[in-house]
Amino acid sequence: FLREKNFKQTIPPVKIEDGEEITYEKATAAVRRSVSFWSALQSSHGHWPAENAGPIAFYFPPLVMSLYVTGHLNTIFHAEHRREILRYIYYHQNEDGGWGLHIEGHSTMIGTVLNYVCMRLLGEGPDGGLDNACERGRKWILDHGSATKTASWGKTWLAIIGCYEWVGSHPMPPEFWDFPSFMSPAEMFCYCRLTYMPMSYLYGKKFVGPITPLIKQIREEIYNEPYDQISWWRIRHLCAEEDAHYPHTKLQTLMWDALYFGTEPLLNRWPFKKIRDIAIKKTMEHIHYEDENSRYITIGCVEKPLMMLACWVEDPNGEAFKKHLSRVADYVWVGEDGIKMQSFGSQVWDCGLSLQALLASDLIDEVGPVLKKGHEFLKESQIDRNPSGDLKKMYRHISKGAWAFSDKDHGWQVSDCTAESMKCLLLFAMMPPEIVGQRMEPEKLYDAVNVILSLQNKKNGGMSAWEPSGAGSWLELLNPVEFLEDLVIEYEYVECTSSSIQALLLFRKLHPGHRKKEIDRFIVNATQFILDIQKPDGSWYGNWGICFIYGTWFALVGLEAVGKTYENCEAVRRGVEFLLNTQNEDGGWGESYLSCPTKVYKPLGHTNLIHTSLAIMGLIHAGQVERDPTPIHRGAKILINGQLDDGDFPQQELMGVFMRNCMLHYSAYRNIFPTWALAEYRHFVPLPSKGN
């Protein structure tokens, strides 16, 4: 984009020397440089294309395996694609030879096994790859107990391609989706539900891909004993300690064994096999439903290769599989470190945050066309329909009026994406249409409000992300995924709650007559939720960003919106104390991703510009400017001096997370948050000026 637009930074770099006071002019120059750079990266569609990746264990390898099984690997990914996919794998191999769950993580069995197999399927020999990548990876696998100890998702994919036997897997009965049980699928977290739906279909059919000579070779490479001598049923509970973030409980092991020894033998024999056949058919109906309602993107990258493969197994020449192939490109991202698989794109989310950062700059005359394009993108991206048919029967929630994380086609409502998008549209509604375009119709905003109100937990006031929460937390005892946590049911999140409070307050200001009592009640209960979940050290746990600094920023901004201040709210005072106590000696902030899995604040050991930006904004909104702006000045100096010559900011550590233990790379954050923080610093903090 920068080359296409012939972008050249014309505003000179700004540096703040030790002992120097930041002036309004220097702060303005830093903001203008950042705004001009980020504006140049806007696409013609109005959003900011950016990488949303990071997990290396279970993102790209399953897609390669699925395409290999269906015979389409070399038609979807040509030689140059395959070379760049391999480069990404090489680049993120750990020094010990293994691969982690994500690109900053310690080596895991599932990460190493799946990436090793991926390299072999992409054409590398058993001792091939850059710096002997395959040989080193295989050594790590064998030295740590072999592929028999890979986590359950790894065993599933190995069974699918023919490098593991289904008899060594935990049962995934397809009967769950349409037969009464102790738990309704509607109670499950949507990502868990839509991962195990196609897995159960493939498990029910005991599907195995073509046993090619390459598959036979891999069988003999990843185990410490000959493949045909492995006692598969004895290893079904094995999991490497490196993978076992959330080890299986005794209750879960008992359940697996009951299904394995009791139910499964019956359902695979006549006449009970008729039940299995009916269940497989019903499961496939659910898969088609989800595919059609996401326009074959599916809900995410873990589910995409599973759903696509299930369609191919049903009918290799069917329209469903062809439509799936056409949307593989939605997930592919070419980066400086090679080709990787996106989570599914963050276009709407990044756009909403970017527009708010630009609006905070007060440089409307300079960015008017950028705001207008972003405005149009958000208006066009609103979901305009609910999922088809009987929502309750298909375990779905309303989506009309919401915004997805990526785009309209994706179709999955997300509460904070809806709230942040609605905030932008309401702000634009207060601006001249000749600058930012025509405002959105009130009826469409009403639809958005309806979705937000529907996702509040009526018991604790918190906001879930995708679907209503409320299922029993005891169900987490049955979490089948060893390396992720809090995956079985939907929860409430401080980020979604804060975003929703801010959006509804702004909506109530502009549309005071619409569902006022419900909105008032929502805000009271949501505010109490934020107060209730504050940690003893004054922080809030961030669920989608790293981690306590991220969550605390959201909480403090949400509390400010409802009139909670340092003077009248103890929670705000404690939040401020947390941020001040975690500031580094150099004036910045930095938090380790280890805070997420341990749920205890872990300092990074050095300064991170995004964390510094979030802390600055948290302190500004908590009134620190009026008490003592010195900590904010020190943080702003870090941001200004960290800016690159072209107005960009350097890429540092990963900043996103999901399910407590897997980190995500939001590449747009390195621009959005420093820009936003400097804009608010310039706007809210009194600064000396040469002219005054």
- CA distance linking residue 467 with residue 189, whole number of Å: 8
416 annotated active-site: yes
Q: For residue 326, count other CB atoms closer than 10 A to its CB.
A: 11
Q: Which residues have CB under 8 Å from 246's CB, separation 6+?
A: 479, 481, 482, 483, 484, 485, 661
Cβ atoms 372, 383 nearer than 8 A = no
- CA distance linking residue 679 with residue 34, whole number of Å: 10
- CA distance linking residue 94 with residue 686, whole number of Å: 47
Cβ atoms 499, 554 nearer than 8 A = yes
Type of residue at 226: P
H helices of 71-132, in order, are: 73-76, 79-91, 109-121
Residue of 291, 350, 416, 648 with catalytic role: 416
Cβ atoms 448, 401 nearer than 8 A = yes
Sign, CA torsion 579/581/587/592: negative
Q: Is the peptide bond before 650 cis (omega within 30 degrees of 0)?
A: no
Tokens describing residue 688: 């000396």
Question: 236 to each of 167, 257, 439, how far by Cα in Å?
Answer: 8, 10, 57
- CA distance linking residue 300 with residue 623, whole number of Å: 40
Question: 273 to each of 204, 280, 311, how far by Cα in Å?
Answer: 10, 10, 22
Catalytic residue positions, numbered? 416
